[in-house]
Structure 1
């Protein structure tokens, strides 16, 4: 029913009050990181299908930063002149958002493009993390004794950028409020603590029901390594959960609604 309602709204949005057809909205370019794990590309393609189901008249294209085709520069180079909104399939501010994506945009001057904010932090991410934990065996109802023995490690890729760390900590805070147990961010690389270290720290505090929440958009090497460190349950990555499709469209709409200062291109506010 939600999909039907969204499709109907999408169709009506293309018709103005006087019955004339409005211009088509700018294409959405989903910017994925890329991975050698074939499951990652499959996951991103499934997510794109869900986005198209929610908004059938929106053109959605894919561009990768590395490792998979199509690469973002090629996607932008092949686009006709006009507008485009780049939505990073990334969870925090970091090097890719601040440098790689703007460089790709600058190399496509024929395209009037803007970049949306990264996906996180946002309540829809917390909704997805919660759902993945429940799928893995997290109990939606828990006794006080079980709650005092429980904790969650939010496993993220890691970045040296302080903004990225702040974004991940904020997501951990939001997830802790949802679950009612402590949530500690930990990282697969480039930052501390590591996921195994965070698991050990929980155990030292007599919390032995330790779950790992996978703060990755798709399966891959880092997600697999972090899951292996779990002492109890490990959730699947965010993947193509319906809330992720809604969040991508939310960031797209935000970017369109945010006036872009000239001559600099700016990120839409989070």
Structure 2
């Protein structure tokens, strides 16, 4: 027979523990140091319209993930110049830095931002050639970074600039043309700012990007460069989603694991040589675990590589192989990718582009370079 506890014995008190984070709870954002360096997304290739769209979307996603971060897209070349690794020497770096600093000044070509006169014409609404300077458009050109009578480029604006939410470079409020990697690194070096952290916007390696960085480093000294984005489980997730969007794989809404796969074999298409192929093979294993189908990697920039990979899958019993570009976009030739898909008679998903996990990967590389601990579920 059990005896009752003495009345003097206090009942146990439940102590509420720390509220655990659920699977859908957004983790706390890491705090950046006050003097944190800028993040430069190194975009392979020139600043074409397609590359700018992808890079701008990724920059916006990174800013949304980490408010207050100083992040910019940096291209290997402007839209008017070819990609030349040897052109990133002393002359190029110093010239581009000088151009950037000139545009960032208070005035350009005699145009003063505080509303004083330019050739006798004020910025406070006085008409010039029938156009009002206080409006957004002046003679068909935007006021911010536009031209007055074709003679002034990059006009600095006072009150108008305050009304328009724009992002400049390294905290400036005046937007400029897409900047090159050499120009932004040279500008930071000349101004004595902390050396920016360069995150290559490629899943694997890029030979041209590496040569450009080596040439810039020979001029400016050591450059802080992270590893490429892959291999990583988040890349496999992005590839899976792109395949599902193309109707080549189905994914459940909870965990993005395959329910039914239209393609019974996947060729991961990459660029960048042997190192990129090896990195893609690791990502391919992660993707194969999601889709439960064989996945092989092939090089788009190596003639016959993709066709050989497709033939290998068909020889092993795959009736409906498909191509999955493990590419962000700017590093690849879109026409070549279409031609290879036509040659192999295989459907293909879209490039990864500005998928949100790409932005998270780039941000994670940046935070890792700063030595900031990250939530393991987000990297």
TM-score of the superposition, structure 1-length normalised?
A: 0.77
* Cross-structure match for 2:128: none
Counterpart selection for 1:216 from 327, 335, 359: 327
What's the CA shift for 1:77? 1.3
Q: Which has the higher contact order (CA 8 A, sep 6+)?
A: 1
Conserved? CA contact 2:47–2:75, under 8 Å: no
What's the CA shift for 1:204? 2.9
Q: Does 1:135 align with 2:155?
A: no
Larger radius of gyration: 2
Conserved? CA contact 1:212–1:234, under 8 Å: yes
* Cross-structure match for 1:65: 76
CA distance in 2, matches of 1:123, 1:200: 27
Counterpart selection for 1:83 from 173, 179, 195: 195
Conserved? CA contact 1:34–1:41, under 8 Å: no
* Cross-structure match for 2:120: none
Counterpart selection for 1:50 from 57, 61, 67: 61
Q: SS where residue 65 of structure 1 aligns? A: strand
Distance 1:65 1:180, change over 3 A: same
TM-score of the superposition, structure 2-length normalised?
A: 0.56
CA distance in 1, matches of 2:61, 2:270: 24
* Cross-structure match for 2:347: 233
Q: SS where residue 280 of structure 2 aligns? A: helix
Cα-to-partner distance string for 1:27-82 (whole Å, 9 max, x where unaligned): 10110102475312211111111111111211012212235452211111122322
Greater helix share, structure number: 1
What's the CA shift for 1:224? 3.9
* Cross-structure match for 1:242: 356
CA distance in 2, matches of 1:238, 1:174: 16
* Cross-structure match for 1:121: 231
How many matched pairs? 238
The unaligned stretches of length 5 or more in structure 1 are 15-21, 259-270
Distance 1:26 1:93, change over 3 A: same
What's the CA shift for 1:246? 0.4
What's the CA shift for 1:95? 2.7
CA distance in 2, matches of 1:219, 1:76: 20
What's the RMSD between the two structures over aligned residues?
Answer: 2.9
